[in-house]
């Protein structure tokens, strides 16, 4: 009985999901999405018919597997992840390989989905547009859930906390975030550090760099008075560059999540289910602890 209920609710859930995805697709007019929408309505019809062979299949598989069966990926059998591998310890190179917290979490998710993980290293700025347009399946890049980004992509359940921190030179007269007004601030273009610094201190006081390492170079050469960047890369940069330190006070507290195309709600559903399990069973924490040692 319980099992039957579970199957029924899983079927109901996917029917609901398909209905809502279909609705969204229906209003969009691009040829790509109309293809997807016809695929969605085919499976929707199948699931509402509920043929007996499908039911017996469903009995053997979990609701999660059912959800996983419905999504499509850019390349069949592959989970294509976009990142910017200049964000230690979330993503960075070890030799030719991209490693880090995000790479490992994504690998566990791909394993659970039965897909091969492929990582594309692109400019941070290009991740949201690339995922939105369906070029990549997921964006995993220490990416903060942000209202502007939510207009273009969907986000998973958060899997980590991010803090916007401030790097200064050891002899700096900036001793807390209260001293930032009127200073020249280096940031990585289109990160939340950039967005918030422009809001709080004015664009004219913010210098954008392509990546964190370049912003840190700007600080070392005196072009900017400080760098606002996420706490973990901030610590890595301060450790790797003599004469720099990270301020104790936090500039902002944020949440990191995986982003998806709004057209691929089934993939988001499947990944979320897995991610939530990986958070609940401590796997995500284990990966975080491997890369971030408690102070
Ligand atoms: N968390 C920041 C953001 O989402 C920076 C991420 C990054 O540089 N990879 O904007």
Cα distance between residue 100 and residue 78, in whole Å: 20
Mean of the per-residue pLDDT values of the chain: 83
- If asked whether residues 155 and 212 sit together in one domain, one would say no
Pocket test for ligand 1, best of 101, 193, 231 (most atoms within 8 A of CB): 193
* % of the chain surpassing 90 pLDDT: 73
Contact predicate 234/246, CB 8 Å: yes
Whether the pLDDT of residue 273 is over 50: the answer is yes
Classify residue 54: in a domain, yes or no: no
Q: Is the CB of residue 190 below 6 angstroms from any atom belonging to ligand 1?
A: no
Q: Is the CB of residue 216 below 6 angstroms from any atom belonging to ligand 1?
A: no
Classify residue 13: in a domain, yes or no: no
pLDDT score, position 70: 81
Average pLDDT over residues 196-206: 97
Q: Please state the separation of Cα 48 from the chain's center in Å.
A: 33
The pLDDT tens digits of the residues spanning 84-138 come to: 998 999 999 999 999 999 999 999 999 999 999 999 999 999 999 999 999 999 9
pLDDT score, position 39: 35
The pLDDT tens digits of the residues spanning 38-66 come to: 333 333 333 444 444 444 444 444 444 44
- If asked whether residues 223 and 264 sit together in one domain, one would say no
- If asked whether residues 137 and 207 sit together in one domain, one would say no
- If asked whether residues 242 and 98 sit together in one domain, one would say no
Cα distance between residue 258 and residue 132, in whole Å: 12
- If asked whether residues 97 and 127 sit together in one domain, one would say yes
Count: domains in the chain: 2
Ligand 1 atom at minimum distance from 162 CA: 1
Classify residue 20: in a domain, yes or no: no
Q: Is the CB of residue 186 below 6 angstroms from any atom belonging to ligand 1?
A: no
What sections of the chain are H helices per DSSP? 2-27, 31-49, 52-60, 63-70, 101-113, 124-132, 147-150, 192-201, 212-220, 231-240, 265-280, 283-291
- If asked whether residues 215 and 147 sit together in one domain, one would say no
Q: What's the CA-to-centroid distance between 33 and ligand 1, angstroms?
A: 29
Cα distance between residue 53 and residue 218, in whole Å: 64
- If asked whether residues 154 and 180 sit together in one domain, one would say no
Classify residue 130: in a domain, yes or no: yes
* Helical axes 31-49 vs 2-27, angle rounded to 10°: 150
Q: Is the CB of residue 188 below 6 angstroms from any atom belonging to ligand 1?
A: yes
Whether the pLDDT of residue 190 is over 50: the answer is yes
- If asked whether residues 176 and 208 sit together in one domain, one would say yes
pTM for this entry = 0.76
Q: What is the CA radius of gyration of the chain?
A: 22
- If asked whether residues 186 and 126 sit together in one domain, one would say no
Show the domain range for 201.
162-254
CATH code for the domain in which residue 223 is found: 3.40.190.10
Cα distance between residue 86 and residue 161, in whole Å: 18
Classify residue 274: in a domain, yes or no: yes
* % of the chain surpassing 70 pLDDT: 76
pLDDT score, position 216: 96
Where does residue 54 rank: exposed (0-12), middle (13-18), buried (19+ CB within 10 A)? middle
Classify residue 100: in a domain, yes or no: yes
More confident residue, 24 or 99: 99
In this prediction, residue 266 has a pLDDT band, given cuts at 50, 70 and 90, of very high
Where does residue 45 rank: exposed (0-12), middle (13-18), buried (19+ CB within 10 A)? exposed
Q: What's the CA-to-centroid distance between 34 and ligand 1, angstroms?
A: 32
Residue whose C-alpha is closest to residue 258's, from 270, 246, 249, 250: 270
The pLDDT tens digits of the residues spanning 229-265 come to: 999 999 999 999 999 999 999 999 999 999 999 999 9
Cα distance between residue 222 and residue 22, in whole Å: 54
Whether the pLDDT of residue 69 is over 80: the answer is no
Least confident of 18-27, 45-54, 69-78, 148-157: 18-27
- If asked whether residues 101 and 140 sit together in one domain, one would say yes
- If asked whether residues 84 and 204 sit together in one domain, one would say no
- If asked whether residues 174 and 152 sit together in one domain, one would say no
Residue at token pair 């020249």: 184
Ligand 1 atom at minimum distance from 229 CA: 5
Contact predicate 50/107, CB 8 Å: no
Classify residue 38: in a domain, yes or no: no
Ligand 1 atom at minimum distance from 144 CA: 4
Least confident of 64-68, 178-182, 218-222, 257-261: 64-68
Average pLDDT over residues 186-213: 95
Whether the pLDDT of residue 226 is over 70: the answer is yes
Classify residue 67: in a domain, yes or no: no
């Amino acid at each position: 009985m319980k099992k039957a209920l579970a199957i029924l609710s899983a079927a109901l859930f996917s029917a609901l999901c398909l209905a809502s995805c279909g609705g969204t697709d229906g209003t969009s007019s691009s040829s790509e999405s109309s293809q997807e929408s016809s695929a969605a309505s085919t499976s929707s019809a199948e699931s509402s018919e509920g043929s007996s062979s499908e039911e017996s299949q469903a009995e053997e598989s979990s609701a999660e597997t059912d959800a996983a069966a419905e999504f499509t990926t850019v390349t069949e059998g592959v989970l294509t992840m976009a990142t910017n591998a200049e964000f230690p310890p979330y993503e960075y190179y070890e030799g030719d390989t991209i490693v880090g917290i995000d790479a490992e979490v994504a690998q566990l998710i791909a394993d659970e989905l039965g897909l091969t993980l492929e990582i594309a290293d692109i400019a941070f700025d290009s991740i949201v547009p690339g995922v939105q347009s369906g070029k990549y399946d997921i964006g995993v890049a220490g990416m903060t859930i942000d209202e502007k980004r939510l207009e273009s992509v969907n986000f998973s359940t958060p899997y980590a906390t991010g803090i916007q921190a401030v790097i200064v030179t050891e002899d700096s007269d900036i001793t807390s975030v209260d001293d930032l007004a009127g200073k020249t601030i280096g940031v990585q273009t289109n990160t939340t550090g950039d967005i918030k610094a422009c809001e709080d201190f004015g664009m004219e006081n913010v210098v954008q760099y392509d990546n964190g390492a370049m912003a840190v170079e700007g600080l070392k050469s005196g072009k900017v008075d400080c760098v606002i960047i996420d706490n973990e890369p901030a610590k890595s940069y301060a450790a790797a560059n003599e004469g720099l330190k990270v301020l104790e006070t936090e500039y902002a507290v944020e949440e990191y999540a995986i982003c998806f195309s709004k057209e691929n709600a089934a993939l988001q559903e499947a990944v979320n289910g897995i991610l939530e399990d990986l958070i609940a069973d401590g796997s995500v924490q284990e990966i975080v602890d491997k890369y971030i040692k408690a102070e």
